[in-house]
Structure 1
Amino acid sequence: MNLFDVFLATLNITLPVFAMVLVGLVLKRIGWIDQAFIATASALVFKATMPTLLFLSIVQADLDTAFQPGLIAYFLGFTLLSFVLAWGWAVARYPRLDRGIFVQGAFRSNCGVVGLALAASMYGGYGLSLGGILTGGVIVLYNVLSSIILSLYSPTARSDISALLADIVRNPLILCVFAALPVAALGISLPNWLLTSGEYFGSLSLPLALICIGGTLSVRSIRSGNRLVMSVCLWKLVWVPLLGTLGAILLGYRGQALGVLFLFLASPTAAVAFIMAKAAGANDRLTADMIVLSTLASMLTVSLGIFVLQWFEMI
């Protein structure tokens, strides 16, 4: 495969995903969708269509291939390591009140939407199956670590273990993964009509979620010259995926597993980071800037990362 073929293959993976984000941006700009639509659609995706998509992708997957305990353990372990490294950097470089939002923005990926959409675009059903399992595990870790760091540096929030555990237990994405694994492991067959209806419903998830992300973007919200926001994007889009992917390569991971891992590590800062920062009384405006800038910049960094990995025949 020559350089041009690799470039075209990269665009075929990333452009369909980020094109939907741009569609959402345009639709919001011309007034075809509004904030009420975005709020309703986002809730529908989170509570219903995305859990359905993940459930069916795991139920129909070959768990011998998609369920990889070693890769899952590495992903969760590196996520914890990136959290600790970002925390150390924040303590050394930034005022106390900014440390919580920096750490959350630097380590928390938008795996549930952007990561899954990219994995599905690149690897189809395998990407959804493995990605769904990775998402179910990492969401728990993201929520726990984000709650801890925001509580430590927030002037108002206090850590509430019972409330945190309740949120985790009620999270639809986590519940669907735990419900799907035994069904897939036991080989339970679902009726064809149920599978078909579920696929229709679940297929709404990724385009609708990406359009909602685009509808929430506002380039004007980025205040130029803010070093904290730029530093978060550098961590989230460069250092975290670079170090995490290199570590996986050294451990011998190649092909589809390495590709899905890279896409999850390289995804932009999760949109839910804004909600958690606001609830903790942290600087939610800067958190919004991190989400906007990292989402826009990831169009370039993800494409570049896939290009390099394909060029060296790692994925």
Structure 2
Amino acid sequence: MAMYELFRSTLEITLPVFAMVFIGLGLKRARWIDPAFVATASQLVFKATLPTLIFLSIVRADLSAALDPSLLGFFAVATLGSVLFCWGWASLRVPYRERGVYIQGAFRGNCGIVGLALAAGMYGHFGLSTGSLLLGVVILTYNAFSVIALVTYQEGQRADWRSMLRHIATNPLILAVVVAVPVATTGWPLPGWLATSGDYFASLTLPLALICIGATLSFSEIRHSGRLALSASLMKMVTLPMLATGAAWLAGFEGPALGVMFLFFASPTAAAAFVMAKAMGANAGLTANIIALTTLMASLTITLGAFGLQLAGLI
């Protein structure tokens, strides 16, 4: 894909997302939505519409194409390494009560929307198939590590492994993966009416999540938490993609496989991070600021990163 086309396709993905965030901000300023709406809508997304979207995405994925266990395994290990790197940095530089939000915001990418769309745009069927398979690993690892980070630094509670495992085992997003994989493996077709109804319901996910982000976004909060939000955003969009992609190249990955992993590593912070932070009583405002900043940065950092990798002949 030419650099101009890549840049344009990136903007076509990131700009509508960022526009939805500001629509949410405008609706809050106009007092058409209030904190009660945000709380209810966030729970609806987290417990129902987003799990439905995940289930349908995995069920429809081509599991027989581009299956590379080494790539899936490396991505899981790289995610763990990213979490540990962010955790170590947060332990040194971030206030205790904000560490869980910082860690999640710095490693959890929007792979299901931005990463998958760019992978399909750059590599066609291979990118879509490989990205769909990676998405299963992404959902399990991102949600598990997010729960661990948020529970560990949740105020008023003492984190323990039993509590963490309970949160992981009952996480609706993880349960959606667990249910979807056997259905996808057996090839059992969903009834037409059920698939259509599921599509209608799942289509609520992105607009609702982004409107809630916008409704929580506060410019005064950005000024207050600006350094933390900017630090997490730079970690997410610059530091971790460079380290993880470099590690993948050293591990022997190249070409489209390396390109797909780079796009996943370099995706902006996922809207699901806000939903989970809100649901678990963490600092949703800081999470929203990180999502907004990384989304704004994405078109520049992803385009420059892809250009550099192509210039070096690695993808």
Say yes or no: TM over 0.5.
yes
Residue of structure 2 in register with 1:218 after alignment = 218
Name the amino acid aligned to 1:84: L
Gaps of 5+ in 2: 122-127
Aligned residues of 2:106 and 2:235 also touching (Cα < 8 A):
no
Residue of structure 2 in register with 1:198 after alignment = 198
SS of alignment partner, residue 253 of structure 2:
coil
Quote how far apart the aligned CAs of 1:108 are. Answer: 4.2
SS of alignment partner, residue 65 of structure 2:
helix
Which stretch shifts more, 122-131 or 168-177? 122-131
For residues 233-291 of structure 1, give each alpha carbon's deviation from its aligned partner in whole angstroms, at most 9, with x where no partner exists.
Answer: 3323321222123323443154377446534554237323466574xxxxx4xx733x2
Q: Does 1:172 align with 2:172?
A: yes
Name the amino acid aligned to 2:73: A
Which runs of structure 2 are paired with 1:37-76 in the superposition (5 Å)? 37-65=37-65, 68-76=68-76
Quote how far apart the aligned CAs of 1:184 are. Answer: 0.8
Q: Does 1:301 align with 2:297?
A: yes
Name the amino acid aligned to 2:268: S
Residue of structure 2 in register with 1:255 after alignment = 256
Q: Does 1:101 align with 2:105?
A: no
Which runs of structure 2 are paired with 1:11-50 in the superposition (5 Å)? 11-50=11-50
Aligned residues of 1:82 and 1:107 also touching (Cα < 8 A):
no
Name the amino acid aligned to 1:305: T
Q: In structure 2, do the counterparts of structure 1 residues 41 and 240 end up closer, same or farther at CA, with 3 Å as the change threshold?
A: same
Aligned partner (choices 128, 135, 139) of residue 131 of structure 1: 135
How does the TM-score come out when normalised to structure 2? 0.80
SS of alignment partner, residue 223 of structure 2:
coil
Gaps of 5+ in 1: 279-283
Q: Percent identity?
A: 40
Q: In structure 2, do the counterparts of structure 1 residues 4 and 162 end up closer, same or farther at CA, with 3 Å as the change threshold?
A: closer
Q: Distance in 2 between matches of 1:42 and 1:18?
A: 18
SS of alignment partner, residue 61 of structure 1:
coil
Quote how far apart the aligned CAs of 1:219 are. Answer: 1.5
Aligned partner (choices 115, 118, 125) of residue 114 of structure 2: 118
Instruction: State the superposition RMSD in angstroms.
Output: 3.2
How does the TM-score come out when normalised to structure 1? 0.80
For residues 55-94 of structure 1, give each alpha carbon's deviation from its aligned partner in whole angstroms, at most 9, with x where no partner exists.
Answer: 1111111112376533332233222222332343345456
Name the amino acid aligned to 2:16: P
Q: Distance in 2 between matches of 1:210 and 1:101?
A: 22
For residues 202-227 of structure 1, give each alpha carbon's deviation from its aligned partner in whole angstroms, at most 9, with x where no partner exists.
Answer: 12112221222122111111235864
Q: Distance in 2 between matches of 1:27 and 1:248?
A: 43
Q: In structure 2, do the counterparts of structure 1 residues 277 and 134 end up closer, same or farther at CA, with 3 Å as the change threshold?
A: same
Aligned partner (choices 279, 285, 288) of residue 285 of structure 2: 288
